[in-house]
Structure 1
Amino acid sequence: MHKDEHGLAMSSASDAAARHYDRAVHELLHFRAEVDAEAEAALAEDPGFPMGNVLAAYLGLLTTEPADARRARERFARFRSGVDVTALPSREQAHVHAVQALLDGDLLTCGTLLGRITEEHPRDALALIAGHQIDFLTGDARALRDRVGGALSAWGEDDRHYGHLLGMYAFGLEEAGHYDRSEEVGLRAVELNPKDVWGVHAVAHTYEMQGRFGEGVRYLDDRLADWSTGTFFNVHTWWHYSLYALEAGATGRVLDIYDSVLAGGETAMEMLDAAALLWRLHLEGGDQTERWKVLSDTWVPRMEEPFYAFNDMHAVMSYVGAGRIAEAERLIAGREDYVAGEHATTNHAMTARVGLPVCRALVAFGRRDYGGVVDLLHPIRHRINEFGGSHAQRDAVHKTLVEAAIRAGRSEARVLVSERISIRPRSPFNWLKQSAVADDLGARAAARARAEELVRQAALPFR
């Protein structure tokens, strides 16, 4: 019986397999591609290594890529056929059951089972990061905060991964609305480990949620070497940088980042970042048709089967942006057939309650049926989180609702803009929308002047 680096026993592992497992978890916490090689090395040393097989399954399923999920299901089924799960230690049994729930499409049960593991084994780093990602995929802000927060007392600064836990906790605090505490914890996480891209990302989210776009740009600029290369998370962090540039009205800078970093993404996470950025430009009237055409082609092979409603939304954005409305409608029709069937999966509920209304609204926006967009999105706006992602990512939906309400001349526009300004008074975007809904020319001019002043105050190196 071997132990991982955090003192937890692992069965049926050679010493070499155990060390590869430790290195794989370390790379996973850094969001580095080397995690795959280390996970494979662990299984090469011991193909029946339970925690090695569990780790490999999580890696295959948390990418939200259907092809990765199929391979993970087949591989884990082979592992299970050769092992008596009831003979495994209780922690490993629990992981096997959590993975099986995930393989079966039941993200909520997987998250619950991982939570139980964490309660009994708070130093199980894999249970924590896998559970954290499940909470992200299901948009559960409370669990993003408390899953890690409930385990922190079992860790100390002498643990080399303590900073990574702080980075995860900072993100949970931000998603739960505790911005001051999130900034404090996130900055400490990055102080302990400058290469903690999830911690950097948590701080970026905190600044975004408060409209502190100038500070966000300077924070990311100061740490460029730490987050911009060497991880499979660098594209997403550049996306956050682009959101700051959008607030400053620096469309040229945004497109430079898109063309040099976001365009040509090969993973679902990279593709949805690209779609989400172009959609924000689309809402403001920017014509990115050629970029949309290239991006929309990459979504086609991934949309053959329902897998994750959040990805469906970004595919529909791409089809609408490229003028492929008929293709967007075919995707929606396929998802309607899926929802009409019997599927005991989390994605089934996500698609029915949020995914389909959002996708229909995007098509309505593309058809300039702005009143239809409002009718579809306004009733669900307070439960958009149910199909996953972060507040920053889901803001594309809320901005679509705001823009549609303004264009349709709906009374909801004033209320929606007032809500945004009340929460983020430092956001130039919000003040520009206030200018669009103001009752008289004086109020419109004052709101626009406020937006311009906020951009000047940010003193960014680009405009």
Structure 2
Amino acid sequence: MAATAPLRDCQAWKDAGLPLSTPSNEACRLFDATLTQYVKWTNDQSLGGIEGCLSKLKAADPTFALGHAIANGLILIGTGRSVRLDKELDLAVKTMVEISKAQPLTQRERLHVSAVETFAKGNLPKACELWEQILQDYPTDMLALKFSHDAYFYLGYQEQMRDSVARIYPFWTPDIPLSSYVKGMYSFGLMETNFYDRAEKLAKEALSVNPTDAWSAHTIAHIHEMKAEVRDGLEFMQRSETHWKGSDMLACHNYWHWALYLIEEGEYEAALTIYDDHILPSLQLSGAMLDVVDSCSMLYRLQMEGVSVGERWQDVLSVTRKHSRDHVLLFNDVHVLMASLGAGDSQTTQELLSTLRDASESPGENCQHLLARDVGLPLCQALVEAHSGNPDGVVELLLPIRYRTVQIGGSNAQRDVFNQLLIHAALTSSSSTHRNVARSLLMERDASKPNSPLTARLIRRAAAVHLLQ
């Protein structure tokens, strides 16, 4: 199997201090190939793609516990399937646990199995604690690092996402496979906690080692977005496109960032061209949840700007409808709701809301279901009120939870759609109190993003109705 770096066999993993409980060198190499593609956000056809590697991995050693852990973990981290609704996945997780109990694994491997099982139950904070236990003793365990990094992102645990990498960063010397990608992970956590200069420095260091590091390019896109450096952002995306567009699992998201700059500039037709040429085709090809939220978020932002998106919601709904009962992540639920509302599918809208309400009433240890009552459901209802033309209802629902939306996960840039919704609703409210809220929010936004063309447009709109006199 061809690869840019030698894939590690049993002895190589042992030499790295991360022994794997399998006698199969082929299983070890396929585990490495799968992990490498996950970290790089790409299905490398020279390796057989992630699914191809996992299939061969299972055949090489059907009882390789960590092979089952990475396979199940990747499905769960993708957030498009849950053990509540997917019997095949539920069986796979139970099989993983049974296999782990039937053999003498290392403590590190047992913790991995427990973490994936815990994640499957929806207890993401506990899963992160288990991965952190691994990293305390094995700071170069990339699987534990990457799984916890993604889980922290889903939880909105921004400081933990940053600090988890900071704690192990000194151990990742350049001779360790994938070490440059740790720079990119660290830079993202720094960016999300507003350390923009340090984040950009690390991301550029990562790109100097590997220009095709799509995640590090993505971090720089975020930095320009958060600082409203629109021209710099557009130039960077154009200059780097040839390097990151081959990362099929992240390219759509990077194009989404590109489109955000265009929406900021008011270049709506150009943004729709990116949507039609890159974002929708990626959604239809992959059905991946990241592509779902990108598609929904972009169309929703354009609609708030007064742009007609035509029948595009119907194309998205054909992918999202099947996720209306998932309730794996509230962040996903809200975006799936955007699609059913946009497409005018009242049945799917009601199904999503009623099943989410049911989940919130019997949450068990599922952290998302526990959060649904106080944050998830009010956020969803705010979208319904906006669709119904009730801006006062939107403000009453969103204003009390605006500082809690971070708990549903996603990035600062992604969640900005909710800030924009609140401002638009407050601007069009019939209540003088709510219109004063709009004024306050705009002054606040202008202070944090003083160069934002979108904010400038909203301020002009407020001035036209005498809110800023």
Return the TM-score normalized by structure 2: 0.90
Q: CA deviation at 1:51?
A: 1.6
Q: Given the superposition, is the C-alpha separation of residues 442 and 114 from structure 1 closer, same or farther in structure 2, using an over 3 Å criterion?
A: closer
Once residues 274 and 446 of structure 2 are traced to their aligned partners in structure 1, the CA distance between those partners, rounded to angstroms, is: 28
Secondary structure of the residue aligned to 2:228 is coil
- The yes-or-no answer on 1:64 pairing with 2:79 is yes
**Residue in 2 aligned with 1:304?**
325
CA contact (8 A) 2:21 2:64 kept: yes
* C-alpha displacement of 1:292: 1.2
Q: Which runs of 5+ in 2 are unaligned?
A: 1-9, 44-48
Residue 260 of structure 1: how far off its partner (Å): 1.2
Asked if 1:428 is matched to 2:453, the reply is yes
In structure 1, what residue type is equivalent to 2:71?
A: A
Change (3 A) 1:398 1:161: same
1:24, distance to aligned residue in structure 2 (A):
1.4
Instruction: Indicate conservation of the 8 Å contact 2:207/2:216, yes or no.
Output: yes
Task: Give the aligned partner of residue 11 of structure 1.
Answer: 21
What do the CA deviations read for 1:95-127 (whole angstroms, capped 9, x no partner)? 111111011111111111111111111000111
Alpha-carbon distance, 1:357 to partner: 0.9
Contact 2:341 2:349 in 1 (8 A): yes
1:176 aligns with 2:159: no
Identity, % of aligned pairs? 29
Please tell me whether residue 78 in structure 1 is matched to residue 103 in structure 2. no
Classify 1:85/1:195 alpha carbon distance in 2 versus 1 (closer, same or farther; 3 Å).
farther
Q: 1:342 to 1:424 in 2, by over 3 A?
A: closer
Q: CA offset at residue 229 of structure 1?
A: 2.6
Give the Cα–Cα distance (whole angstroms) in 2 for the partners of residues 66 and 443 of structure 1.
47
Match of 1:218 among 210, 235, 238: 235
Provide the residue aligned with 2:46 in structure 1. none
Is residue 113 of structure 2 the alignment partner of residue 113 of structure 1?
no
How far the C-alpha of 1:403 sits from its partner, in A, is: 0.6
Residue 36 of structure 2 is aligned to residue 26 of structure 1: yes
- 1:2–1:13 contact (8 Å) kept in structure 2: no
1: CA distance, partners of 2:400 / 2:468? 29
**Which of 197, 203, 209 is 2:220 aligned to?**
203
Counterpart CA distance in 2 for 1:113 and 1:151 is: 15
Range with greater deviation from structure 2 (124-133 or 85-94): 85-94
When residues 368 and 300 of structure 1 are mapped into structure 2, their CA distance, relative to the original with a 3 A threshold, is: same
Map of 1:88 onto structure 2: 105
Supply the distance in 2 between the matched residues of 1:257 and 1:282 (Cα, whole angstroms): 16
Corresponding residue to 2:297 among 256, 262, 276: 276
Secondary structure in structure 1 of the residue aligned to 2:403: helix
Q: 1:51 aligns with which of 53, 56, 66?
A: 66
Q: For residue 274 of structure 1, what is the amino acid of its counterpart?
A: S
1:404-433: per-residue Cα shift (whole Å, max 9, x none)?
A: 011115211011111111111111111111
Q: Is the 8 A contact 2:439 2:467 kept in 1?
A: no
Distance of aligned partners of 1:261 and 1:430 in 2 relative to their CA distance in 1, 3 Å threshold: same
Instruction: Quote the offset at 1:32 in angstroms.
Output: 1.3
Q: Which residue matches 1:450?
A: none
In structure 1, the gaps of 5 or more residues are 445-463
Structure 2: how far apart are the matches of 1:157 and 1:79?
33
Q: CA deviation at 1:322?
A: 2.0
Query: Over residues 176-198 of structure 1, what are the superposed CA-to-partner deviations in whole Å (9 max), with x where a residue is unaligned?
Result: 11111111111111111111111
* Cα 1:403–1:163 shift into 2, 3 Å: same
In structure 2, give the amino acid aligned to 1:423.
S
Cα distance in structure 2, aligned partners of 1:421 and 1:387: 25
SS in structure 1 of the partner of residue 34 of structure 2:
helix
Residue 185 of structure 1 pairs with residue 195 of structure 2: no
Mapped to 2, the partners of 1:39 and 1:249 lie a distance apart of: 44
Aligned residue among 336, 342, 352 for 1:321 = 342
* Whole-angstrom distance in 1 between the partners of 2:311 and 2:107: 54
Q: Which residue of 1 aligns with 2:6?
A: none
Cα distance per residue 1:153-187 (max 9 Å; x no partner):
11112334121000001110011111111111111
User: 1:164 corresponds to which letter in structure 2?
Assistant: Y
**1:162 alignment counterpart:** 179
Residue number among 354, 370, 381 corresponding to 1:360 in the alignment: 381
Q: 1:230 to 1:185 in 2, by over 3 A?
A: closer
Match of 1:252 in 2: 269
CA drift of 1:363 comes to: 0.7
Q: Given that residues 40 and 213 in structure 2 are in contact (C-alpha distance below 8 angstroms), is that contact kept between their aligned partners in structure 1? A: yes
2:445 is the counterpart of 1:415: no
The CA deviation at 1:73 is 2.9
In structure 2, what is the Cα distance between the partners aligned to 1:21 and 1:424? 44
- The alignment partner of 1:177 has SS state of coil
- Evaluate the alpha carbon distance shift between residue 201 and residue 285 of structure 1 in structure 2; reply closer, same or farther with a 3 A threshold: same
Match of 2:368 in 1: 347
My pick for the range that moved more, 79-88 or 35-44, is 79-88
Match of 1:374 among 377, 395, 400: 395
Are positions 1:35 and 2:60 aligned together? Answer: no
TM-score, normalising length from structure 1? 0.91
Matching residue's letter, 1:412: V
Deviations 1:312-364 (A, max 9, x none): 10111112222334542342122112212243201202322322111100010
Q: Secondary structure at the match of 1:263?
A: helix
Distance across 1 between alignment mates of 2:313 and 2:16: 46
Asked whether 1:394 is paired with 2:415, we answer yes
Separation in structure 2 between the aligned mates of residue 434 and residue 124 of structure 1, nearest angstrom: 49
Contact 1:378 1:401 in 2 (8 A): yes
